Structure 1
Amino acid sequence: MSISKPVYVYLQRPDSGEWVTVGRYKAGRPGEGFFKYAPSYIDAGLAWGIDPRNLPFLPGTDLTAPRYQGLHDVLRDACPDAWGQALLRQEHNLPEGGPPLQYLLKASNLDRWGALAVGSSPKPPDAKMNNPGLPQLNDVVEELVALAARRPAIRPNVRARLVRTASVGGARPKATVRGELGQFWLVKPEIATDPANIPLLEHAAQQWGAASGLNFAKTVYHPAERGWSAVRVLRFDRTDRQRHMCVSAASLLQAEYPGLLQTDRWSYPRLAEELRLAGAPVEDRIELFGRMVFNAVCGNDDDHVRNHAIVYDADERRWRLAPAFDVVPNPVETPMRLQMQLSQGRFDITRDAVLTDAHRFGFTGAPEAIAYLDDLLKRITAGFDGAAQWLDHDWKQVLQERLSHQVSILSRGQSTNDRQGV
């Protein structure tokens, strides 16, 4: 895809909520793209860098895009992933395998992830949100399931709205609904090809993580009313009418996803370093360590680089680790590896792999890291009972056995690091 005109990028200011033109994107030769912060943005004294890793605030500089066929990482973050891309290809007859830029331009600003919008005018648009309300949840779930199965629309008005707002990420069918008190929820239904009740497993895992003392996104489970259950997840990039700047771990780690799957860059310790460089406090790095351990225990091996993110906190005026999301125990088997490295070159779930690079998460030394790990394993074990109330007998037994097995692997006495004081 080639474009002759610039694409203007707009930002909803984190302080006032006003929309401003933050910069412009320009495509060059095939696979080449440039972003420059707008003179009006600079003249107004604004200085929020929209991506602390790849688009730092450098006035007057054309910043190149080395990935995504010339599209900058944070703009790729604002594109839909597999589910939304499929809807846009169907709606606009787009070729499969086309550049991410086509999805950035075709996706609506109504429901993008984060606080960015794009357009053809130097003046920011009135990017209002237009999501169904929570009372329509059952209609939304039914329509999402029909879409996933490629069936005709049950409620054409609902389907049209779902297609117009197909901007959020992920591979599963999903949509956003407005809740009470200005909340926005991501709704994900059970689908016919699921090997288990995935919405229920996700809800149980999110509840389990929160009960373990970790910062997990709030979820609500909806039992099947018209044949399909669903989970709704509170969006951390929205508070009422205010959108919050977000950047994915894929962008922070400069790891194109999906794409070449450069798993050498998929690393929890490296992500902890990026949190430090972005200005997040040390407690966020330790929180990330805790999530790594929780994923190992519950068996969430879908912990890829688009399932972690940072969000800008306007009150603190700094980037923070976003709440944990998309945490789902593997429904088929107990994994022995994660998708992200636990330490350099180590994907295996062992106590050694967990502790070898623990210093990179901000612990003052090996004793603090070891004490935190052992205490966390106790909290994860204690937190299971509360989450297990959502599961039937068979799944409760499966995850209980997985918990016992994984905790035994990660517990004291299994690591040479404990003996060597590493």
Structure 2
Amino acid sequence: MAIISRPLFVYLQRPDSGDWVTVGRYKMDTAGEGHFMYAPSYVDAGLTWAIDPVNLPFLPGADVIAPRYQGLHDVLRDACPDAWGQALLRREHNLPADAPPLQYLLKSSNLDRWGALAVGAGAKPPEAQVNAPGLPQLNEVVEELTALAERRPPVRPKIRARLVQTASVGGARPKATVRDDKGQFWLVKPEIGTDAANIPLLEHVCQHWGAASGLNFAATVFHPAAGGRNAVRILRFDRSDRRRYMCVSAASLLQAEYPGLLQTDRWSYPRLAEELRLTGAPVEDRIELFGRMVFNAVCGNDDDHVRNHAIVYRSEERRWRLAPAFDVVPNPVETPGRLHMQLATGRFDISRDTVLADAHRFGFDHRAEATRYLDTLLERIAAAFDGAAAPLDHEWKQMLYERLIHNLAVLRTQSD
């Protein structure tokens, strides 16, 4: 267990002005318990944004103990890297394979954290910084990511140093952030040698397919043979120019440690819809979530785990909203019969009965309304397929088409 004797200060880029403020302090005691408290200066300034509306609601003076992640609060775990970033930090800092999440929070840089939080040893917040390579360097970034993934020496040492320094973004695949000339930030993910298919192209196709079906999916661009590998770049919803936006993962909202104990009772679309309601998101976000659940069932994306959903704070609306869909990739090996998250209470199986069983929790007034929405959405998904799948070769287009036809039949059929 990593014990820190001094407080670790947590900073927030204000949603309204973009100024950095000290929002609170974190400390781990000698018993290994993590404590968070909102900073008196934050309270005195009249600021009231909760950095995690479920686990750290704004309660001035409250000392909140972290119940998960070996003493690290959920939203601070959100600010840590996942598998890919953790692997880079283990290599760079010689960390053990079982290093606690706190170590990754401390070792990762504030330059590219997910969301609007940063951490540091001083009470004064940092200056906002940007250290992402520019879009014209995309080929070099992909080339270096490939070398990193294959554990080869640096091809471009300066790019390598920057990628290791900004290893704070989640996910298991090699990835890096690039910035375009409009100030937008994009995640770049190249294919790797162990891929069973052209995963970057499949992700690009599915993201466009979802958007063409009328759902809120993150924008993507496919780059064939960039730096010697196919790659996809995905627009980041947690930042724009020098502004970073508060985000909380579905894992945090559902109080579901991931990866970790198999808390499958908490991996649930209906429960996530309830959390959206409780955090103040409008009903259309719950219906959007229902639509994404259906789309994942149709395309066969069974990697829809609780870190692949999130909320983002919209300052202009003064409320949390469901973030755009991301990491939607169809299973390239088989057509799954179940999803990673429950479609209804206790049920992971893909069927019409399951999809509609808890429809009221997504904001529909009655089952008939949910049924009409489901049938209309299935028609939109079917109609959008040909255009979205155009970049695929015949074999992969046929595979996804056959899956589409199979799953449409499953979701249109009522069980006896």
Q: Normalising by structure 2, what TM-score?
A: 0.99
How many positions carry a matched residue from both structures?
A: 415
Moved more, 22-31 or 197-206: 22-31
Match of 1:2 in 2: 3
Q: Equivalences for 1:295-334 in 2 at 5 Å?
A: 295-334=296-335
Identity %: 78
Contact residue 138 and residue 226 of structure 2 kept, 8 A: no
Partner SS, residue 263 of structure 1: coil
What is the one-letter code of the residue matched to 2:105? Answer: L
Contact residue 304 and residue 328 of structure 2 kept, 8 A: yes
What is the one-letter code of the residue matched to 1:70? Answer: G
Match of 1:82 in 2: 83
1:275 matches 2:276: yes
Structure 2 unaligned regions, length at least 5: none
Structure 1 unaligned regions, length at least 5: 417-422
Contact residue 336 and residue 349 of structure 1 kept, 8 A: yes
Partner SS, residue 126 of structure 1: coil
Contact residue 21 and residue 42 of structure 2 kept, 8 A: yes
1:291 matches 2:288: no
Partner SS, residue 35 of structure 2: strand
Q: What CA deviation, in whole Å up to 9, does each residue of 1:266-305 have, x standing for no partner?
A: 0000000000001000000000000000000000000000
1:150 matches 2:151: yes
What is the one-letter code of the residue matched to 2:20? Answer: W
Per-residue deviation, 1:144? 0.3
What is the one-letter code of the residue matched to 1:13? Answer: R
Match of 1:24 in 2: 25
Distance across 2 between alignment mates of 1:246 and 1:265? 20
Contact residue 297 and residue 403 of structure 1 kept, 8 A: yes
Q: Equivalences for 1:224-263 in 2 at 5 Å?
A: 224-263=225-264
Q: Equivalences for 1:4-403 in 2 at 5 Å?
A: 4-403=5-404
Q: 1:225 to 1:186 in 2, by over 3 A?
A: closer
Contact residue 247 and residue 309 of structure 1 kept, 8 A: yes
Contact residue 197 and residue 332 of structure 2 kept, 8 A: yes
Distance across 1 between alignment mates of 2:227 and 2:285? 40
Contact residue 185 and residue 232 of structure 1 kept, 8 A: yes
Distance across 1 between alignment mates of 2:130 and 2:31? 33
1:414 matches 2:414: yes
Match of 1:420 in 2: none
Q: 1:226 to 1:3 in 2, by over 3 A?
A: closer
Q: What CA deviation, in whole Å up to 9, does each residue of 1:76-120 have, x standing for no partner?
A: 000000000010111111111111000001100000000000000
Per-residue deviation, 1:318? 0.1
What is the one-letter code of the residue matched to 2:9? Answer: Y
Per-residue deviation, 1:390? 1.2
Per-residue deviation, 1:338? 0.1
Partner SS, residue 225 of structure 2: coil
Partner SS, residue 325 of structure 2: coil
Distance across 2 between alignment mates of 1:364 and 1:309? 25
Per-residue deviation, 1:195? 0.6
Distance across 1 between alignment mates of 2:139 and 2:104? 28
Per-residue deviation, 1:39? 0.3
Q: 1:123 to 1:356 in 2, by over 3 A?
A: same
Distance across 2 between alignment mates of 1:364 and 1:181? 42
Q: What CA deviation, in whole Å up to 9, does each residue of 1:320-372 have, x standing for no partner?
A: 00000000000000000000000000000000000000000000101100000
Partner SS, residue 209 of structure 2: helix
Distance across 2 between alignment mates of 1:187 and 1:226? 12
Contact residue 140 and residue 227 of structure 2 kept, 8 A: no
Q: What CA deviation, in whole Å up to 9, does each residue of 1:140-180 have, x standing for no partner?
A: 00100110000110000000000000000000000000012
Contact residue 278 and residue 319 of structure 1 kept, 8 A: yes
Distance across 1 between alignment mates of 2:34 and 2:390? 51
Runs of 4+ in 1 over 3 A off after TM superposition: none
Q: What CA deviation, in whole Å up to 9, does each residue of 1:109-136 have, x standing for no partner?
A: 0000000000000000113010000000
Match of 1:419 in 2: none
Per-residue deviation, 1:181? 1.3
| Coordinate RMSD, CA, aligned | 0.7
Per-residue deviation, 1:13? 0.1
Per-residue deviation, 1:225? 3.9
Q: Normalising by structure 1, what TM-score?
A: 0.98
Partner SS, residue 151 of structure 1: coil
Contact residue 117 and residue 127 of structure 1 kept, 8 A: no
Contact residue 254 and residue 272 of structure 2 kept, 8 A: yes
Contact residue 128 and residue 242 of structure 2 kept, 8 A: no
Contact residue 177 and residue 187 of structure 2 kept, 8 A: yes
Contact residue 109 and residue 127 of structure 1 kept, 8 A: no
Distance across 2 between alignment mates of 1:180 and 1:298? 33
What is the one-letter code of the residue matched to 1:18? Answer: D
Per-residue deviation, 1:414? 2.0
Partner SS, residue 186 of structure 1: strand
